[in-house]
Structures are given as C-alpha cells and as structure tokens.
Structure 1
C-alpha cells in the first residue's frame, strides 16, 4: 500500500487512526499536528466518548508507538511538512483548514500526490471530486482526482437515504434540519465568537447553525433541490437529521421503510446505511459505524410530504467511512 499521512490529530484524526489500526485498514507512516506529542498520545489512548483504546499507546523521540507500529510524528507548527522527503503519497487532511483549494493544494506543493479532505469543500472548484462510500466512490479517477473531499458527517448521513429515495421514488425538492452535537467551533462559556450564535455556551444552549451538507450534496447530484440548517445541542456525540421531501412518485410509509430495509441488507449501501425498527434515543447510535441509521418509526407522510429521520454518530460513523475511503484511494493510486 502507498504511504499515508494524517494531517491534524484532533477528534476525527484520532478516531481515523484508531479505526485504521483496529480494522487493519492501514497504518500511516506519519502524523502531523501542532500540539506536543505526549499530550496527543494521551488523547489517543483515552477518549471521552469512546473510552480506552484497546491497544498499547506510547511515544518515543521519533513519534508514536502503537502496539508494534512506530508512526513518525511531525510538528507542523511551522506549516505543511515536506511530504516528499517522507515519501508520502496520500495525505488525509483532518485539520479543517483544507476546505479551500489553496489549503489542500499546499500538501501537493510539498510533495504529496493525493489529498483526502475530511470536510466539505467550500465550492466544487476547491476540490477535484466529492466522493462518498456507497454513493459514488466508484467514480474515483486517479488521473484527475488529486484533491478529494469526503463531505461532512451530515453529508454522509443524508446522502445514503437520498440515494435510496431518489432511485425508488424520485425527489422534487426538500428541506432538512440536523440536530447535531456541539463541536470545537463553539465556546465552552459565553464569549464573543466569529459566528455570533456560537458566542453562547455550547453545553447550555440549543444553537442554530449553518450546514455545509446541502452544498456538498449538490456537488454529488447537481439537480438535487434540497437545502437545510443545523441546530447544535448539548450532547458530546450522536446526531439526527430530519429530511422532509416531496417525491416524484407516490409512496407509502411502508414502501419507504421497505426500501431502507433492502438497502441496509444488500448492495452498495450495506454497511453504510442501517435501520432501527424500535424507538431509541441518541445513546443508541454512539459508537455505531454506519453513516446513516434510519429510524423507521419516525417515517411519516402528510399528504404528498414525506418525512424521514437519519441518526448518526457524527465522529465514529464518519471516521469509519473516512478510513475506508483512505484505504480505497491508497489501493488505487
């Protein structure tokens, strides 16, 4: 397999590495971040949401020692590392700063051959393709796609049910609202922030926010007429997206739920989309590896309006897809 590096060792970067190692998908040759190695090793070893890593985590003068794997650590405080000298082929950018082309291009300029961005690009011009497992990953072209965006956790949570509904019944237009756990873009206490609504304490407020998922979905389906917004709520992880649609063909609740059941059991979305037959809360989906977990009792119809609900662990589910796409691209380049 080609050499892989993780750039940015925050929440997603750490879960990406856990999954890569635990599922034997890949072992990165390097991890780059701006924080000190001992603290990063401790954060990797014990996670508030997912507990102790089952392996042995330590560090030495060169980097991480994770079980039998030695992974170089690169201090990137001075900027993007010299990937060419490290013989890195694919950089998975988990920094959140590669949503514009210049941010991702910096990795290519430093010698990497491909960049996988763990965030939605600002525009389609800021990446070469938006590729999601179970949706359009087979469109990857190693000759053309050197900067690939994976969208966001919400993009993946909505794309799977949208694919099912589009193929079975068609979509005229729709609106979504995602109820999302708080993130690092918010503040722990009340203080002025760039986004005014984020100025209030994340663990004490319901905070409306924008969602980059709508734009990312239109990068995949340019004729899709779906948009929406987000509400950040005081939970650590575990989110739900409600999608309200007008379908092209008539459909019943049972027909829609049967379509989700079939997609979860076979085909491209097996392992990406799952279904819940009983009533649950967000605690049920924490640690779930699926991108979209359809709550079938919440599927309802009112006249021509269809409403569906997709649960997702906004860290763990997305990081599993990111790890799988990392392995896929590394195997194709």
Structure 2
C-alpha cells in the first residue's frame, strides 16, 4: 500500500512534482498546501507556460483541488503548518524553498509527519539527516535515522552524475564548474533594488552572475571533493547547461570518457543520465526528465584538464527526481 504523501508549497516545483506524480502513476497526494487560493493555483496547474496545458479537467473549489476526477484536499497554510498527525501523513514534500535549516524542516516532524523531503539544498549537513540523490546514493537511505532528507538542487543532481562517474573511473584532484542557468523566481522582471545587487537587473534582459550552492551540496556527498563553481542566470524560461573542468588523477581520452557516459546511460544510470551525440541547443532538453544529459561533442581534454558539459531542464528533471524519491521513501 502506498504511503500517504503531502505536498507543502505549490509553486514552480510543487506543481511540476504533482504533474509528474500523476502522469507517471507514482502517487496521488493526500493534500496540497499553499498560501494562495484554490482557483488561482488550479489555473496555474492546468495551464503552464513552460509545459503547456494539462490533459484533464482541473477545478479549484473551497478545500479541494479536483484533477481529472481525483479529489485532493487543499489546506491553506498561510497561518500555520497543517496538523500532519491528524491527517496521518507519512511524508511531507516541502517545496517552499524555505526549509533549508533544521529549525524550518523540523516543524513538519513536530506537526506529526514521519518524514520530510526538502526540495532544495540544506544550509549545512547539520540541517538535514541525509542528502539523497537518485542514481548517486539513494541506496544509503536509513529509515530509522533519516527523517529530514534534502534532495539538494537541480544543478547538484546534474553535476553529481558526472562527478560520480569521473571520480570512480579516473579520479578527481580538483575542479571548477560554471552553470548557465535559466532565470528563476528569486530574480526580478524589471530593474529594481534587490538583496543581491546583481539580481537588481531585469532577469529576462541580462546575463546575471550568481552564486551556486551546488559545490557545498556535492561535498555533503563526497566530503573530500575539491570542486567549486558559480552560475550565470540567462534569459531562458527553463533549460540549463553546466560545464565541469576537472583535473583527473588518471589519464584519459575523450573517447574513453564519452564511452563511459554512453555505457552508464544504458546501464547503471538508466533514466537518470542521457547523452546527446549531435549538436543541439537548450530547447532540445525542455521537458526531459533526465537529471543530467551529457553533450558528448562538447567533451574536451587539454593536458590533465577534462571538460564535460551537461544539460538539464532545471524544473522538470528536478521535479521528476523529487517525485520518484518521494515514492521510494514511502515504499521502503
């Protein structure tokens, strides 16, 4: 019997999480919580700018979201976190983007949930019990110890696939990455003063350098990893590409590296990793559920420096992993 899952936060990731959960028959959530009204949220779910119209009738009415005849309880959480114990919730998927500290995540456990899955990187390892990524370390899940689980970021999931394979096959001394990332809700549509000065300029008109928390999250998984990096936010709705420049411990060739990715995409990382053999642009990967899509023609080698470029639909691929991991956690 499927465990009882609640979605907390119905923004960009929460809505795509629900689309994937229903489309792939992973689960029907017990409830959805947010601070906005049912009608507006139902409309945003039904028609999505990035992923188009949902194929079933969607209705928002007081206390419910009805999708293709499925009645899902809606709870307005503007005043307090729902009483998960009364609802008999096994897992809360927190998609608010605000539960990056233990104090914020712990509230769900205090309200009676058995476990919470955070859709974002925790501030430190002390702020969660584990960082678990599908295809990387999900098999290390310990039901008794892991109550607060972080799934890091979309960029972390994309990079982790490349890091895992290169590290296991050729070793990594150190490296740098840059991600060219679509704009997000943390930015502004027009020029206005923002907390981060660079975010003060219009997201759809500028290339905006930004920090990336992916390096820190990668070190939560491999504590000896010597990698750091940054992001450049660009004017695309969704679809991003990360480039890793790594100094390997063992010598390798472009052919060996690309064959490694081809093999893993068909084998151990099937569904998590994919490869592109031809020359493509970002529209190719919009709506693609793979965590990491290595662009093989862009693989380069100069001396000891290996350069690998990998695409990811920062919304859809991350929500796909989130839905799959949520289903995994309640079935263990």
TM range, normalised to the smaller chain? over 0.9
- Quote the offset at 1:61 in angstroms: 2.5
Residue 40 of structure 1 corresponds to which residue in structure 2? 41
Residue 96 of structure 1 corresponds to which residue in structure 2? 97
Aligned residues: 331
Structure 1 gaps, min length 5: none
Distance (Å, rounded) in 1 between the aligned partners of 2:205 and 2:60: 37
Residue 172 (str. 1) matches residue 173 (str. 2): yes
Residue 160 of structure 1 corresponds to which residue in structure 2? 161
- Quote the offset at 1:89 in angstroms: 1.2
- Quote the offset at 1:232 in angstroms: 0.3
Q: How does 1:269-284 map to 2 (within 5 A)?
A: 269-284=269-284
Q: Tell me which stretches of 4 or more aligned residues in structure 1 moved more than 4 Å.
A: none
Distance (Å, rounded) in 2 between the aligned partners of 1:87 and 1:191: 44
Residue 299 of structure 1 corresponds to which residue in structure 2? 299
Q: Secondary structure at the match of 2:288?
A: coil
- Quote the offset at 1:30 in angstroms: 0.3
Q: How does 1:70-219 map to 2 (within 5 A)?
A: 70-219=71-220
- Quote the offset at 1:84 in angstroms: 1.1
* 83-92 or 274-283: bigger deviation: 83-92
- Quote the offset at 1:91 in angstroms: 0.3
- Quote the offset at 1:56 in angstroms: 1.9
Residues 214-249 of structure 1 show CA distances to partners (whole Å, capped at 9, x for unaligned) of 000000011111110000000000000000000010
Residues 148-186 of structure 1 show CA distances to partners (whole Å, capped at 9, x for unaligned) of 000000000000011110111111100000000000000
Residue 5 (str. 1) matches residue 6 (str. 2): yes
Distance (Å, rounded) in 2 between the aligned partners of 1:247 and 1:55: 50
Distance (Å, rounded) in 1 between the aligned partners of 2:57 and 2:289: 22
Distance (Å, rounded) in 2 between the aligned partners of 1:166 and 1:105: 34
Residues 263-306 of structure 1 show CA distances to partners (whole Å, capped at 9, x for unaligned) of 00001x11000000000000000000100000000000111110
TM-score by length of 2: 0.99
Residues 88-121 of structure 1 show CA distances to partners (whole Å, capped at 9, x for unaligned) of 1100000001001111001111111100000000
Distance (Å, rounded) in 2 between the aligned partners of 1:14 and 1:61: 18
Q: Secondary structure at the match of 1:159?
A: helix
Residues 188-237 of structure 1 show CA distances to partners (whole Å, capped at 9, x for unaligned) of 00111111111110001110101111000000011111110000000000
Distance (Å, rounded) in 2 between the aligned partners of 1:281 and 1:18: 25
- Quote the offset at 1:68 in angstroms: 2.6
- Quote the offset at 1:36 in angstroms: 0.8
Structure 2 gaps, min length 5: none
Distance (Å, rounded) in 1 between the aligned partners of 2:280 and 2:3: 41
